[in-house]
Amino acid sequence: MQLLRALGFFHVSMILISTTLGTGIFVSPKGVLQYSSLNIPVFLSIWAGCGLLSIMNALCLAEMGTTFPVSGAPYYFLKRSLGSSVAFLNLWISLLTHFLSISAQCLLIATTIIQCFYSGCPAPELAKKCLALAILWSFGILGAQGIKTVAWFNTVSSIMKLSVLGFISLTGIVLLVNGKKENVSRFENALDAELPNISQFIDAILQVYYSYIGAAVIIVLSGEIKRPTDIPKTLIYGLSTVTVVYLLTNISYLTVLTSQEIMSSDSVGVTWMTRVFPSMQWLVSLVISAFLVGSASCGIVSASRLFYSASREGQFPFICSMLNDHHSPVVAVILIVILSSAAVISSSIIYLIKYVSLGAWCLHLLQMIGLLKLRYQNPDLPRPYKVWLPFIYGFLASSLFLIFTPVIQAPNIEHVYQVVFLFCGLLCYWIQANFKGHTACFDTITCYCQLLFNVSPSEDPEKSIPSLHAD
């Protein structure tokens, strides 16, 4: 029993598009426009710039995924380059970002569906959370069916997403070309708008980058890709397509809606659809909801692979690395769903997005440091793909700027909470490291759980990968 290498170039591309094209394009425009001081050129420039940043970061991650083509590649990579404590800290931050991201996606799907029944007024919070939990557990059942089922589900989801965003983009272009005064006027005198300060600019980038973080899922799933050497090509093509689609979609939003309408909307995509097709609100809500499902399902699969890799290294219970008949770590999937359910209690999606993006930048900082260290420490390590060194330095500088500038510019209590969270991660590492040798009492529990979930220990797939043993 081991995770199957069942993903070819087509399915990997579809998973990348499905994961990246998610809740961000419906929620982030509101926060980005707010932090951009309603400056449309700055708004669009940030979307384009973050697309380029995401491609640069993805190419850096591609070296990691091709050098260590195993499930949970970032964990293995950091453990080899920076040690077990840093690898665990990376895992600690990764799992938090996954929980927040999955919960935000499920909340948005639930909000979009329920809002149909409450035209003209906000939907009840309790109803949204109950439906979000039901959706979350449905995705958990899907994730337990194995990577092939998830891949086909996301292939359908990707085609649907590209169709919906293509329709929104084309409609906006047609309306803009037609030159109606109310559509064109929103772009007139755009350069005269107020410029945001540094803190606002960084917050805007954090909002946008949430829409591009799906690329990391491909690296986590490296152990289930047939030809890991295709990862760089997949990331370049996929993220370039996503960047163009995002820009055209945002232009379409600005063509149809005023800045104030975007700012007051919980889901910009739904507001756009309602404005263009006012008599089709039910259909609009269903289409938008179906549009969002792929990202959440991929998030659960990605997070479960992190649990799986940590379990194999003894930093999580051994049961999390056992596989069911569908070659899926079903216990890890269940844990992800339970923890994400706890995160659903927070209904402020805009703050969830901010913390997910900040966590992603912290991960990038650790990964870039590890990549540089491994370059100089093991220059002869087999690397099927080697990223251009200035890309690593550039993204390292970007990560440092985005993480520490807000602390210097406008320190607040939230930064204290973030530092406490990191120390909690190190404390958990110390606890599990000191009690690692006293786990015999849990063997009986593991056996009963193994029978309950019908799972078996997985073989070690890394033994067949030369790069993991080359010095």
pLDDT digits (tens, 9 = 90+) for 48-98: 998 998 898 888 889 888 988 888 888 888 888 888 888 888 888 887 777
Helix, strand, coil percentages in the chain from 3-state DSSP, rounded to 5: 80, 0, 20
- pLDDT band at 205, cuts 50/70/90? confident
Comparing 14 with 122, the larger pLDDT belongs to 14
Which architecture, in CATH terms, is 9-468?
Answer: Up-down Bundle (1.20)
Q: Which span out of 233-247, 407-421, 424-438 was modeled with the highest average pLDDT?
A: 233-247
308-312 contacts, C-beta under 8 A, 24 or more apart = 308/3, 308/71, 308/72, 308/332, 308/458, 309/70, 309/71, 309/72, 309/75, 309/76, 310/72, 310/75, 310/88, 310/91, 312/458, 312/460
- pLDDT band at 47, cuts 50/70/90? very high
Among residues of the chain, what percentage have pLDDT more than 90? Answer: 10
Measured CA angle at 256 (ends 250, 262), to 5 deg: 65
Taking 90 as the threshold, does the pLDDT of residue 240 lie above it?
Answer: yes
Residues 272 and 256 sit within 8 Å (Cβ to Cβ): yes
| Burial zone of 126 (CB within 10 Å; 0-12 exposed, 13-18 middle, 19+ buried) | exposed
Cα(13)–Cα(236) distance, rounded to whole angstroms?
10
What pLDDT, on a 0 to 100 scale, did the predictor assign at position 354?
A: 59
What pLDDT, on a 0 to 100 scale, did the predictor assign at position 333?
A: 92
Give DSSP secondary structure letters for 320-376. Answer: GG-B-TTS--HHHHHHHHHHHHHHTT---HHHHHHHHHHHHHHHHHHHHHHHHHHHH
The answer for residues whose C-beta is within 8 angstroms of residue 17's C-beta and 6 or more apart is 158, 161, 162, 238, 241, 242
Taking 90 as the threshold, does the pLDDT of residue 244 lie above it?
Answer: yes
What pLDDT, on a 0 to 100 scale, did the predictor assign at position 48?
A: 93
How much is the average pLDDT of 344-363? Answer: 65
pLDDT tens-digit map of 211-220: 787 778 888 8
Q: What are phi and psi of 469, to 5 degrees?
A: -120, 0
CA atoms within 13 A on the CB side of 321: 19
- pLDDT band at 256, cuts 50/70/90? confident
CA atoms within 13 A on the CB side of 298: 33
Taking 70 as the threshold, does the pLDDT of residue 179 lie above it?
Answer: no
Taking 60 as the threshold, does the pLDDT of residue 461 lie above it?
Answer: no
What pLDDT, on a 0 to 100 scale, did the predictor assign at position 236?
A: 92
Residues 332 and 320 sit within 8 Å (Cβ to Cβ): yes
Mean pLDDT of the chain: 81
Taking 60 as the threshold, does the pLDDT of residue 328 lie above it?
Answer: yes
Q: Which span out of 90-99, 363-372, 432-441 was modeled with the highest average pLDDT?
A: 363-372
Q: Which residue has the tokens 């939230």?
A: 414
